[in-house]
A and B are shown apart, each in its own frame.
Chain A
Amino acid sequence: MTLLADLAQALIRGDRLQVSELTCQAIAESMSPKAILDDGLLAGMKVVGVRFREREIFLPEVLMAARAMYAGMGPLKPLLVAEGVPSQGKVVLATVRGDLHDIGKNLVGIMLQGAGFEIVDLGFDVGPAAIVQAAKDHGVEVIGMSALLTTTMPAMREVVDLLRAEKLDGDVRTIVGGAPLSEEYARSIGADAYAPDAYTAVDVVKRLAGVA
């Protein structure tokens, strides 16, 4: 088995110490940082995603793999930046105004970073104007919005309307999620997509960002 296949397997097991060790070994052997990322870390996360969708593994195991991913990214990130390797894309994440439930949004952020996206996490109780402004400031491809309370969901529509008003809706796509939401609700407010869970969100964001 090659070093990068070993790296992918260690990530799948959620073995962060071995992921860190193998990443450093791959760097020491002068492997390309992009190959280490693509064929080691991201390849492992892809398998984790498939197994999660098939319900062969569960959220805590996905999060263990995500932690291992971070352990590998530690030594790798400076090299990727130095080589100008682009990320998969940039995503603004926020729990909308009036809502403080951010665990789901945090999980989406962890998964997206594990899939190679850069995340601008605005936190919770974020107003529509601040979300749109952050999207403009950071030049993101996707805005992800979360809500747990039915009373706060309408703030998502305000973001979609604001993007339209500023003629940004062609460049910045929107994805919504949270316990009380549905595909139908996403459509009704004009959002581009809905995801029922954090891992589905990764696939949907990849599609929205054009990197699927």
Chain B
Amino acid sequence: MIVEIGVAEVVPDRSAVLAAMDVSGGAQARPHLDELADSALRAFAKTAAPVGIVADASREEFAEIYAGAPGNAPDSVVADVFPRAEALSLFVVTLGSATSEAVARGFAEHDFAAAAVLDAVASEAADRAAEVVERRVERRLRDEGRLGGDGVALRYSPGYCGWNVGGQAALFRRLEPERIGVRLTDGGFMRPEKSVSGVILAGPRSIHRVTPTYPFCASCVAHGCRVRLRALFGRGTSVGPETPA
């Protein structure tokens, strides 16, 4: 199923853009930085064409897709969570290619600041597009009576938490995101660049409880999982320190 996503649903606000560029507190009163962010937001609105594709999968189907990824960690978050999920949906979202082309053009023309800020806007927006699809899947499952009051749908992506990025190949074969203009290069990278792929795992909140002490956690500095776990299970959840990505 192709999912139309509005630009307004994914566009971050100016403060989020500046925060993504690590511009903090003392710079609030700098009009040139505000203008830079506003200009990037206008460029994004002109170029972005967010769209997604979603397909439900059975646990058995996903097990096959997951097993098809070369180099998965022996233990991984996805491998632990998906057998407990009551509903699974494969997804790919993209912002289209025009924004990435504008970023590349900016760098080529030495307009580094504008290009870097536009890239930050697009990165944030791509993640929000995935979030939009995640929320819509969750709502649909609730409407269909497949997700109870305590239920939560969360997305997991190849390249993170032990699921090798090569997992995208099997996922693409099943989902055919070429229908929304997303393809994999020979090297296994998604084009357009600002695209996100993965699986949305839904079920009672407890299915997502993991302890982030997998071997790959030692070299991870993102700690996005800790933020999610705390959001799900409360701030007192023992998942280690929360360090910004």
Contact = CB atoms under 8 A, between A and B. Distances in A.
Contact of A185 (B113, B165, B219): B219
B63 interface: no
A59 B30 CA distance: 13
Interface string B209-230: 0000000100111100000000
Interface string B84-128: 000000000000000000000001001111001101000000000
B107 A180 contact: no
Contacts of B71: 151
Contacts of A150: 216, 219-220
A66 B113 CA distance: 9
Interface residues of B, number: 31
A179 B113 contact: no
Contacts of A107: 112, 116
A178 B111 CA distance: 23
A64 interface: yes
Tell me which of A70, A103, A150 has the highest count of chain B C-beta atoms within 10 A of its own C-beta: A150
Contacts of A88: none
A194 to B, nearest CB: 12
B21 A180 contact: no
Contact of A98 (B22, B36, B187): B187
A103 B116 contact: yes
Interface in A24-65: 55-56, 58-61, 63-64
A64 B30 CA distance: 14
Q: In which size bucket is the chain A interface?
A: 20 to 34
B244 to A, nearest CB: 11
A58 B116 contact: no
Contacts of B47: none
Tell me which of A55, A63, A179 has the highest count of chain B C-beta atoms within 10 A of its own C-beta: A63
B165 A149 contact: yes
Nearest to B119: A103
B23 A59 contact: yes
Contacts of A110: 112
A67 B33 contact: no
A60 B159 contact: no
A101 to B, nearest CB: 9
B26 interface: yes
A60 B165 contact: no
A71 B111 CA distance: 11
A129 to B, nearest CB: 16
B219 A125 contact: no
A60 B33 contact: yes
Given A67-B111, A106-B107, A179-B221, A151 B119 contact: no
Contact of A58 (B27, B107, B216): B27
B111 A61 contact: no
B189 interface: yes
A138 to B, nearest CB: 21
A151 B22 contact: no
A59 to B, nearest CB: 5
Contacts of A100: 187, 189, 193
Interface string B2-26: 0000000000000000000111101
Contacts of B164: 151
B245 interface: yes
A60 B221 contact: no
A155 interface: no
A193 interface: no
Contact of B112 (A55, A56, A63, A149): A63
Contact of B21 (A56, A60, A151, A185): A60
A66 B110 CA distance: 8
Interface of A: 14, 55-56, 58-61, 63-64, 66-67, 70-71, 98, 100, 103, 106-107, 110, 125, 149-151, 153, 179-182, 185
Given A66-B112, A106-B107, A180-B219, 4 more contacts: A55-B26, A67-B113, A103-B119, A150-B220
11 contacts: A58-B23, A58-B24, A63-B116, A98-B188, A103-B116, A107-B116, A151-B71, A151-B159, A181-B221, A182-B219, A185-B219
